[in-house]
């Protein structure tokens, strides 16, 4: 005969199981494809794995992420269009390719906008980031979080670049982005816009002298094989955006949407920490591979910043003033001036 204590325990177990099944009823079996243009060795994959860990806990394993790296599903622009049309679920892309849709996103491409990661996080995770999240939904994209891409640094095959004048005449591959093109022109370099898929071959064939990317990207794409000189310029910080297709997002339950947002935000901390760690290791590795490293001192950075004031003026004049106020207001608060 069942004792009262055992009966209570059995009933509690039954109701717990019933509650768990009801709570998971808001989750359907879903296979979610995530496209990224970087290799799987990039810390982006660390973030994806953490997202999956959180989603497993929240959905009972029903929501499954699959990462497709190195642009296997197409370039960033192609993947973004697939999201907007509802034929693909997710893409991890930097803010730069999105500036063609929302020109104000170009503010993150402005040279030397952020002095360090702390400034970038304060802006991206604050009201300015929220502003862009709302704008992106107007274009069929839902941004779940901002992750770390890192500061961009210059490499070339010609000579050490330790001061502004050293850039004179160097053919530098840049993203197909007017701000980068204008900035390098102001620095007297010869910017060559080019898709990233063509970059290594262009460097190898000496069609261009150099390029600029975060250390991790320089290492994982083995650019040290075709580039001798590295400059710790940290001239631009372009974040990753974790985008979901709005047409497909609207078909998710409220629980599924909440789980995805929480997973992306939980992964943000882990991914940023991994990026910082691996970025430091990548620089050590690049030196070990024989790259000659030059630093830009404060005086040279100020000279370069002075040269690109026209780039700031030209672009900020075309942006919604609310964006400038949000970004520079936050920076002023952080810097105390």
State residue 97's pLDDT score: 87
pLDDT value at 1 more than 60: no
pLDDT value at 299 more than 70: yes
Residue 310 burial (CB count, 10 A): 12
Residues 6 or more apart in contact with residue 291 via CB below 8 angstroms = 155, 224, 227, 228, 229, 230
Binning pLDDT at 50, 70 and 90, where does residue 176 land? confident
Binning pLDDT at 50, 70 and 90, where does residue 25 land? low
Smallest CA-to-CA distance from 215 within 293, 272, 282 is with 282
Residues 6 or more apart in contact with residue 211 via CB below 8 angstroms = 154, 155, 156, 172, 173, 174, 199, 203, 223, 227
**Beta strand extents in 105-209 (DSSP E only):** 141-147, 151-156, 171-174, 190-193
- The stretch 77-100 carries a mean pLDDT of 94
Residue 91 burial (CB count, 10 A): 28
Which of 3-12, 111-120, 200-209, 240-249 is predicted with the least confidence, judged by mean pLDDT? Answer: 3-12
Query: What is the set of domains in the chain, with CATH numbers?
Result: 27-149+238-279 (3.40.190.170), 151-237+290-335 (3.40.190.170)
Task: Quote the mean pLDDT of the chain.
Answer: 92
pLDDT value at 263 more than 90: yes
pLDDT value at 195 more than 60: yes
Q: Which long-range contacts (CB under 8 A, 24 or more apart) does 186-189 make?
A: 186/307, 186/308, 186/310, 186/311, 187/304, 187/307, 187/308, 188/164
């Amino acid at each position: 005969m069942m004792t009262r204590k055992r009966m209570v325990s059995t009933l509690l177990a039954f109701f717990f199981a019933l509650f768990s099944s009801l709570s998971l009823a808001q989750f359907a079996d879903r296979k979610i494809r995530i496209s990224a243009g970087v290799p799987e060795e990039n810390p982006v994959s660390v973030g994806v794995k953490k997202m999956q860990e959180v989603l497993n806990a929240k959905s009972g394993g029903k929501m499954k992420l699959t990462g497709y790296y190195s642009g296997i599903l197409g370039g960033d622009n192609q993947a973004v269009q697939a999201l907007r049309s509802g034929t693909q679920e997710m893409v991890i892309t930097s803010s730069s390719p999105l500036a063609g849709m929302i020109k104000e996103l170009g503010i993150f491409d402005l040279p030397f906008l952020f002095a360090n990661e702390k400034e970038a996080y304060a802006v991206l995770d604050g009201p300015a980031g929220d502003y862009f999240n709302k704008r992106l939904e107007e274009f069929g994209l839902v941004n779940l979080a901002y992750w770390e891409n890192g500061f961009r640094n210059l490499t070339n095959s010609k000579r050490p670049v330790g001061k502004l004048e050293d850039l004179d005449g160097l053919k530098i591959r840049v993203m197909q982005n007017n701000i980068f093109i204008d900035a390098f022109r102001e620095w007297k370099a010869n910017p060559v816009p080019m898709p990233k898929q063509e970059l290594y071959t262009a460097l190898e064939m000496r069609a261009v002298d150099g390029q600029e990317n975060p250390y991790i990207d320089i290492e994982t794409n083995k650019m040290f094989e075709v580039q001798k000189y590295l400059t710790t310029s940290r001239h631009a910080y372009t974040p990753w955006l974790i985008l979901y297709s709005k047409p497909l997002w609207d078909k998710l339950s409220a629980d599924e949407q909440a789980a995805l947002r929480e997973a992306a935000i939980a992964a943000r901390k882990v991914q940023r920490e991994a990026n910082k760690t691996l970025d430091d290791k990548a620089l050590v590795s690049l030196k070990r591979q024989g790259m000659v490293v030059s630093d830009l001192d404060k005086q040279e950075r100020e000279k370069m910043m002075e040269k690109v004031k026209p780039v700031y003026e030209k672009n900020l004049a075309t942006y919604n003033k609310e964006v400038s106020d949000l970004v520079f207001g936050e920076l002023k608060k952080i810097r105390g001036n």
